[in-house]
A = this chain, B = another copy of it.
Amino acid sequence: MGGVLSVYASVDLGGTNIACAVGDTSHSIATLGERGPEDVLARMVAAIQALVPQGARLEGVGVGVPGLLDGERRSTLFLPNLTTQWRGVPVAERLEKALGCPVRLLNDARLAALGELEFGVGRRVSDFVFLTLGTGIGGGVVLDGKLRLGPFGAAGELGHLTILPDGPPCGCGARGCLETLASATALRTAGLRLLQDGQAPRLREMVGGDEAAVSTETMARCGDAAIDAAIDKAARYLGIGIAQVVHTLHPQAIVLGGGLAKLGDRLFGPAREEMLRRVRMFPADEIEILASEAGENAALLGGFVLAERGVR
């Protein structure tokens, strides 16, 4: 009975790169989104096939998608960082035809939350809210050990919690959303503005005047008072968003991933303080604010869970 090796694939489709993994082998190719969905999907298929060992059978694929899916989670509805051509593309069906196996899709932040549930904080905590702080802010809600999806897989769209009703315009069309105030992009933009206004002399020295070298990490290390205040402000807005989630759900933990979470206590400290300042009706000190333990690969790890078992 010579068994055939069964493998699963996980794919994280991003605005810049497509990360692919089969078993413990992975690679990343450029998305080249401007070429449109057909081209992107064809290269995605080739990238997956290149990783499947000879003679092995691909049993399923889980794909993280940077945006909104339809109710069946089979087609893309809106991928804000890619082209508008993705409206109504039957991605699951196309990939299934090309690869000959079941393909499941999920929003990338929810997929990372699924990875966190299976391989990170979720190993000991059954109720948590996951936030990924990157270019934008994504989220996922895990209750009683289950990822909550809602009708479009859109529950946990926490980057768009209103924090300042008349705040800065957001890419989504609303104003004052959490991601306009506390994403890595929002903080870096604030840093660049201070640099240009001459309020960040140490940061300027650190980056040698090269604005492209300004990152949330260099900001956290520079020691300029105005930059420190900007980080503090972003963290406090994050704390307000966390307080909203705590009042709604009272989870055991808030888990922070994405680039900005690398700032650690510099960010978590004031965020936690602000959350506790806002949550006064019940004891909230036992609610932990934790760094993601599934880490940068949370979404890819979640993709395997999605491929093998799906959600719900």
**B-contacting residues of A (Cβ < 8 Å)?**
68, 77-78, 127, 141, 143, 148, 150-152, 154-158, 160-165, 172-174, 240, 243-245, 247-252, 277-283, 286
Cross-chain contact of A250 among B77, B155, B172, B243 (Cβ < 8 A): B155
- List 18 A-B pairs, Cβ < 8 Å: A78-B281, A127-B150, A141-B249, A148-B249, A151-B250, A152-B250, A152-B282, A152-B283, A154-B281, A157-B247, A157-B250, A158-B248, A160-B278, A161-B247, A162-B163, A172-B280, A174-B279, A244-B248
Q: Bound state CA distance, A173 and B284, in angstroms?
A: 14
Q: Contacts A68-B282, A281-B154: A164 and B165 contacting too (C-beta < 8 A)? A: yes
Which residues of chain B have C-beta atoms less than 8 A from A252's C-beta?
151
Q: Is A248 a contact of B161 with CB atoms below 8 Å?
A: yes
Q: Is A248 a contact of B141 with CB atoms below 8 Å?
A: yes
Q: Is A173 a contact of B249 with CB atoms below 8 Å?
A: no
Which residues of chain B have C-beta atoms less than 8 A from A161's C-beta?
244, 247-248
Q: Is B68 a contact of A281 with CB atoms below 8 Å?
A: yes
Q: Contacts A148-B143, A152-B283, A283-B152: A162 and B250 contacting too (C-beta < 8 A)? A: no
Which residues of chain B have C-beta atoms less than 8 A from A154's C-beta?
250, 281-282
Q: Bound state CA distance, A235 and B83, in angstroms?
A: 36
Q: Is B160 a contact of A247 with CB atoms below 8 Å?
A: yes
Write the chain B residue with the least CB distance to A78.
B281
Q: Is B148 a contact of A240 with CB atoms below 8 Å?
A: no
Q: How far is the CB of A234 from chain B (nearest CB, A)?
A: 13
Q: Bound state CA distance, A193 and B168, in angstroms?
A: 31
Which residues of chain B have C-beta atoms less than 8 A from A157's C-beta?
247, 250, 281-282
Cross-chain contact of A174 among B143, B164, B280 (Cβ < 8 A): B280
Q: Contacts A279-B160, A281-B160, A282-B68: A248 and B155 contacting too (C-beta < 8 A)? A: yes
Q: Is B165 a contact of A240 with CB atoms below 8 Å?
A: yes
Q: Bound state CA distance, A125 and B92, in angstroms?
A: 30
Which residues of chain B have C-beta atoms less than 8 A from A68's C-beta?
281-282
Q: Bound state CA distance, A155 and B284, in angstroms?
A: 11
Which residues of chain B have C-beta atoms less than 8 A from A243's C-beta?
162
Looking at A127, A162, A173, A286, which has the most chain B CB atoms within 10 Å of its CB? A162
Q: Is A280 a contact of B160 with CB atoms below 8 Å?
A: yes
Q: Is B249 a contact of A150 with CB atoms below 8 Å?
A: yes
Q: Is A281 a contact of B165 with CB atoms below 8 Å?
A: no
Q: Bound state CA distance, A19 and B172, in angstroms?
A: 47
